[in-house]
Amino acid sequence: MSGRLAAILVVAMAILFGLAAPAAASTAVEKLMMPGQLSQAHAKLEEDCANCHKVLQKAAQSSLCISCHKDVQKDLDAKTGFHGRDVIVAKSECYACHVEHKGRDNPEIQFEPSTFNHGETRFALEGGHSLVPCASCHKPGKKYREAPQACADCHGEKQPHKGNLGKQCETCHSVESWKKLKPFDHNKTKYPLRGAHAKAACVGCHAGEIYAGLSQACNDCHAIRDVHARKFGLKCEDCHSLEAWKPAKFDHAKTRFPLQGAHAKAQCADCHGGNITAKLAVTCISCHKAQDVHKAQLGEGCGDCHNASAWRANVKFDHGLTSYPLTGLHALVACEGCHETRAYKGAATDCYACHRKADVHEGRFATACANCHSPLGWKRVTFDHARDGHYALDGAHAKVGCYDCHTAKAVQSAKLPTDCYSCHKVKDVHRGAFGTNCARCHTTQTFRAAIIRQ
């Protein structure tokens, strides 16, 4: 019997058995006709050919493959991955590449790795990846599509950052080489690099490959260089800039005590001593008490007279607010003219206390200079004997000199008796025979003329 005749006989028998017992006969015949075992991955499907085949419908085979391999269907629909992007795959049936019935050890995928275009997959091999052996990423027993794609999945154990920078390796590294770093934009972090910081090496701040959670305070990095030994506190930025440590400048104008005038030239230690961060009082006396030549007799309001330019420059004091306003020529007199010491308090306010040496009257009118003289000048005498002395000078009295009556010097009071006899006793030709009331006969015009009264 020829081979062709045998085949026809087998088919005829299959049809015969199929009509008598359709299910069992069909399975038996299919197994009898199966060209070889399936691959190990599909071995469980071997019991029923209908899992992958439809009788006399060869075109339906790919749809049956897809019904199981739903992940491939998603790639085809989305045109992603190898199955969705390769032009040949789109025009071919599954069995064109995935050959079965070649035995358990037969690989179900028929392709040559050395000529496979990895660019049509989700992960194109570029840079250093193009030289990596397939087995480095595609592990035995795993589907090719299950190979990891994230950098950390392959390089996680080798990376020196210990996970402190997350898993986005591509943020800094390129596919050319691990050591070929991309320019890292520190401006996108919470700490943009400015000034000298922009030139600092990464390891200068990120020692031990620690990047996340680092402090941003100056002293935390620069404490080892703190020549002030923390006596200026921890806020380096109050004096130093990002450009360079030197020169350092503290803007005192931002405090509650801007430095003006002579204060601008003072050294920090002049006011702060050894504790630069200690809070100080801003009153003048709190710093200048030792220099107070007034011995606290003028109070603590130094600013009422002095300014920040210099203690002795443009000193202003309003004497009009005291109990002794300066008027006339007194306003031109230097402070030292009346105040013998810079205590100032206790200076006398009576004229004689200052002008005793200038008293040409030698005390004949006591110390009440203001009865005759004015602050506008010594020679501007305004004494009216009738008004101020309560004794009008009329007749011959009007021609009498002041010293003719006021003969005594350094008297306690300039008041004199107003009766005639007290002055004219030595000239009484009557020798007291007519008493002491001269005015009964005489007038102020002259002693020689007398009125005899009855």
Measured CA to CA, the distance from residue 20 to residue 23 in angstroms comes to 10
* Residue 234, pLDDT above cutoff 90: no
Q: What is the pLDDT of residue 29?
A: 67
Quote the pLDDT of residue 115. Answer: 83
Beta-strand ranges (E) seen in 115-203 are none
Quick check: is 325 in a domain?
no
286 compared with 18, residue with greater pLDDT: 286
Residues 373 and 430 in one domain: no
Task: Label residue 20 by pLDDT band (50, 70, 90).
Answer: very low
pLDDT at 27 over 80: no
Q: Which of 198, 214, 230 is the last residue of a domain?
A: 214
| Shared domain check, 155 and 106 | no
Could you read off the pLDDT of 116-173 as tens digits, one per residue?
888 888 898 999 898 899 988 988 888 888 898 888 888 877 777 777 777 888 888 8
pLDDT digits (tens, 9 = 90+) for 299-336: 888 888 888 888 888 888 888 888 899 999 999 998 88
**Residue 77 belongs to some domain of the structure:** yes
Lowest mean pLDDT among 104-113, 133-142, 182-191, 288-297: 104-113
Q: Residues with Cβ < 8 Å from 177, sequence gap 6 or more?
A: 127, 128
What's the mean pLDDT in 395-417? 92
Higher pLDDT, 17 or 399: 399
For residues 444 and 398, membership in a common domain is answered with no
pLDDT at 361 over 90: yes
Residues spanned by the domain of 389: 350-416
Domain presence at residue 336: no
CB 284, CB 235: distance < 8 Å: no
Instruction: State the pLDDT at residue 8.
Output: 47
Domain boundary among 53, 81, 110: 110
- DSSP letter for 39, please: P
Residue 243 within any structural domain of the chain: no
pLDDT mean over 79-101: 88
For CA atoms 272, 277, 280, 282, the dihedral sign is: positive
Are 20 and 105 contained in the same domain? yes
Residues 84, 162 within the same domain = no
| 134-161 residues labelled b (16+ CB within 10 A) or e (exposed) | eeebeeeeeeeeebeeebbebeeeebeb
Assign 363 a pLDDT band (cuts: 50, 70, 90): very high
Q: Are residues 165 and 179 in the same domain?
A: yes
Residue with tokens 């920090």: 268
Looking at the structure of the chain, the number of domains it has is 4
Task: Tell me, yes or no, whether 393 and 430 share the same domain.
Answer: no
Span 410-438, average pLDDT: 90
Are 395 and 450 found together in one domain? Answer: no
Residues 381 and 439 both lie in one domain: no
Same domain, 154 and 166: yes
Residue 19 has pLDDT above 60, yes or no: no
pLDDT of 16: 47
Domain assignment present for 137: no
Does the residue 242 lie in any domain? no
In this structure, the answer to whether residues 93 and 19 fall within a common structural domain is: yes
Q: What is the mean pLDDT of residues 252-272?
A: 88
Domain annotation covers residue 232: no
**Domain for residue 451, yes or no?**
yes
Do 54 and 91 have their domain in common?
A: yes
Mean pLDDT of the chain: 84
Q: Which two tokens stand for residue 256?
A: 């509650």
